[in-house]
Chain A
Amino acid sequence: MPLGLLKYGLRPRRPPDRFLPPRPELKRAYDTVIIGGGGHGLAAAYYLATEHGITDVAVLDKGYLGGGNTGRNTAIVRANYLTEEGVQFYAESLDLWRGLSNELDFNLQYTERGHLTLAHADSAIRTMRWRAEVNKHFGVDSELIFPDEIARLAPGLDLSSDVRHPVLAALYHPPGATARHDAVVWAYAARAAERGVELHSDTEVTGIQVESGRVTGVETSRGPIQCNRVLQAVAGQSSLVAAMAGFRLPIHTVPLQACVSLPLKPWLDPIVVSGSLHVYIWQSARGEVVIGGATDPYALYANRSTLEFAEGTLLPVLELFPFLANVKMLRQWAGMCDMTPDFSPVMGVTPVENLYIDAGWGTWGFKATPVCGKRMAELIATGRTPDLLEPFRLSRFAEFEQVGEKGAASVGH
């Protein structure tokens, strides 16, 4: 907007623009209440407003917007899944990601850098080939590559054969990307608020009112709200919120930890994942090396960091990139993940009418932010479950129709 910039420059005084509106008073009633002000909840609010004209929406968060897993993940976006349901779902997300900075008029620093999943055994090569063929069948760019090409893409990676787990091949997924995760929250929040959605941080939901099987409102730390529809999008706390409405979920809450190093000169373009070594690694635009690993070994509602994680994750990183041995770590953190038995999310209707759920996002939720928001908004607005979400319904467990994605989880868990 050069004209706007010019006018701004010629103004005698230049007060800073407030990016998000101040928190309004809580009304007594809304059409739709969204519990959880992370990427998924805010994206759903944005698409409800833009695509379905539903703007009488309150997004409630017990902390600050994006303070949960949206700000704690390692910001990787990919679609190289294993099942046909998963690949189609994440492929739509990739399409949305590509245009998202333009659509939201906010630089999300979406960077397609390529994604390498290393295979250290014949069985892993077989799975990579399987994933590549399923991906290509649904139009997702993936291919099995071998050490000569891996060396070209990931300099510094130890490709020698005299190591514990030699690199034999890799699944190469060129559209694999990273995005600035906080920016995704801010952009969705700002654009939703512009259209009338109310953002209520520091507003904890303490109860869900259900009358004859239908949701009628929520109780919050700032008083009760009546509403027609509720979406819960509270990764890590999903079971506790579902319990308020009287049903149980196929979820265990398990911490996932990650860490970053001090900044280094840029050397690594792609994201490098090793399922066998339980690590993944990429270099941010600031030069920091972002490192993640497997989830903690047991369930916990806490965001604490452990020495076990640092030791168990950084040693395998040195097997892949020995030259990082003298690099100092800058910080370590954790998020609480909804782990499901089939490593797929839970989206759609619940046993309570007009209460919709977006949960079970385990360690794979950030990449699905746009598609999940868009399709959950469609479900809330129309009452019909989109075909893309149907395989991920909560009732799939009772029907013994799980969507097994463990083979495509970034690292073994």
Chain B
Amino acid sequence: MKIMPCPLNGPRNIQEFTCGGEVVMPPDPDRADAAAWADHLFLHDNAAGIVREWWYHVPTSFWFIADRDTVTDEIVRTFHPRELFGVDERSDQP
């Protein structure tokens, strides 16, 4: 069993989680053309090494961020998204 250290729930079986893909910023909706959107939606670095990903704990509906090595499958670090995006006042998440 592989363990995911969840910032909200502590260490849990990784089967409780869904990977939401790499953390990438969407293009500016006022300026982006179709090519920029296609690039954002479909093309990926798909890097071999440490990547920063969204992960979701399904039973508690909690999204967080993990730095994970895609070669060794080692989870280097997990943290609350507010570390990257600041505090969201509307969020009822801790």
Residues A248 and B38 in contact, CB atoms below 8 Å apart: no
Q: Decide: B19 and A249 in contact? CB cutoff 8 A.
A: no
Q: How far is the CB of A264 from chain B (nearest CB, A)?
A: 30
CB-defined interface of B50-70 with A at 8 Å, one 1/0 digit per residue? 000000000000000000001
Residue from the list B1, B2, B42, B71 in contact with A301, Cβ < 8 A: B71
Contacting residues, chain B, for A239 (C-beta < 8 A) = 44-47
Q: Contact between B70 and A398 (Cβ–Cβ < 8 Å)?
A: no
Query: Which stretch of A128-136, A179-187, A302-310, A380-388 is in the interface?
Result: A302-310
| Nearest-neighbor residue (CB-CB) of B13 within chain A | A308
Closest to A308 in B: B15
Q: Given A299-B70, A302-B71, answer yes or no on A397-B38 (Cβ-Cβ < 8 Å).
A: yes
Would you give the shortest CB distance from B57 to chain A, in whole angstroms?
14
Contact status A249-B46, CB under 8 Å: yes
With a cutoff of 8 Å between Cβ atoms, the chain A residues found around residue B41 in the complex are: 397
Binary contact readout A48-88 vs B (1 if CB under 8 angstroms, 0 otherwise): 00000000000000000000000000000000000000000
Docked Cα-Cα span, A240 to B2, in Å, equals 26
Query: Would you give the shortest CB distance from B71 to chain A, in whole angstroms?
Result: 5
A253 touches B (CB below 8 Å): yes
A307 touches B44 (CB 8 A): no
CA distance in complex: A298, B15 (Å): 11
Q: Which of chain A's residues has its CB closest to B46's CB?
A: A239
B35 touching A398, Cβ below 8 Å: yes
Contact A252 B73 (CB under 8 A): no
Q: A252, A398, A399: which has the most chain B beta carbons within 10 Å?
A: A398
B30 to chain A, nearest CB (A): 20
Assess whether A307 is in contact with B1, with CB atoms less than 8 Å apart: yes
Contact residues in B for A299 (Cβ distance below 8 Å): 19, 46, 70
- Check: A155 CB closer than 8 A to any chain B CB: no
| Residues 99 to 131 of chain A near chain B (Cβ within 8 Å) | none
A103 to B18, CA, bound (A): 47
Say yes or no for A368: interface residue by CB 8 A criterion.
no
Q: Does A44 contact B (CB under 8 A)?
A: no
| Measured CA separation A248–B41 after assembly (Å) | 12
Please give me the residue from chain B that is nearest to A250 by CB atom.
Answer: B42
12 interchain pairs, CB-CB under 8 A: A248-B43, A248-B46, A249-B43, A250-B44, A252-B21, A297-B18, A299-B19, A299-B70, A301-B48, A302-B71, A302-B72, A306-B2
Q: Give the B-binding residues of A (Cβ under 8 A).
A: 239-240, 243, 248-253, 297-302, 304, 306-308, 341, 397-400
Beyond A299-B70, A341-B42: 15 further Cβ-contacts under 8 Å?
Answer: A240-B46, A250-B43, A252-B44, A252-B46, A297-B14, A297-B15, A297-B18, A300-B71, A300-B73, A301-B70, A301-B71, A308-B2, A398-B39, A400-B34, A400-B38
Sorted nearest first, the 3 A-B pairs with minimum C-beta distance are A239-B46, A298-B19, A397-B42
Interface residue ranges, B against A (CB under 8 Å): 1-2, 14-15, 18-19, 21, 34-35, 38-39, 41-48, 70-73
